[in-house]
Amino acid sequence: MNISVIIADKNMDYLSRISEFLQQYDNLTISICSDGDKFQSIIDAGRYDVALFDPDISEDRIIFGNVKLALCLYSDEARNLGLYTDMTKVMKYQRISHIYKNIVREYADKAGYAADFDKSQNTHIISVFSPIGGSGKTVIALAVASGLVGIGKSALFVSMEQLSSSAEVNAKYENGLISLIEAASEPEDKVDFGSKVIGLAKEGMNGMSYVEGFDRIVDYDAVSSDDIEAVLTRIKRAGLYDYIVVDLESRLGDIEKSVISLSDHIVVVERPGELPSKKMQLFAEQAVTGEYKGKMVRVGNFAENNSSYTVTFDAPIISLVHNYGNLPLRNMIGAIISNGELDVRQIIKAQ
pLDDT for 312-348, tens place per residue? 678 899 999 999 988 999 999 999 999 999 999 999 9
Report all structural domains of the chain as residue ranges with CATH numbers, in order of start: 3-110 (3.40.50.10850), 120-348 (3.40.50.300)
φ, ψ dihedrals at 152, nearest 5°: 90, 15
What percent of the chain lies above the pLDDT cut of 90?
73
CB of 150 within 8 A of CB of 337? yes
| Burial category of 82 from C-beta neighbours within 10 Å (exposed 0-12, middle 13-18, buried 19 and up) | exposed
What percent of the chain lies above the pLDDT cut of 70?
95
Banded pLDDT at 351 (limits 50, 70, 90): very low
pLDDT value at position 242? 96
Separation of first and last alpha carbons in the chain: 27
Calculate the average pLDDT of the chain.
Answer: 91
Q: Examine the pLDDT at 201 and tell me if it is beyond 90.
A: yes
Q: What is the mean pLDDT of residues 52-75?
A: 94
pLDDT tens column, 104-136: 888 887 765 554 567 778 899 999 999 999 999
Query: Within 156-273, where are the H helices?
Result: 176-184, 193-200, 217-222, 225-238, 254-262
**Residues, the chain:** 351
Banded pLDDT at 34 (limits 50, 70, 90): very high
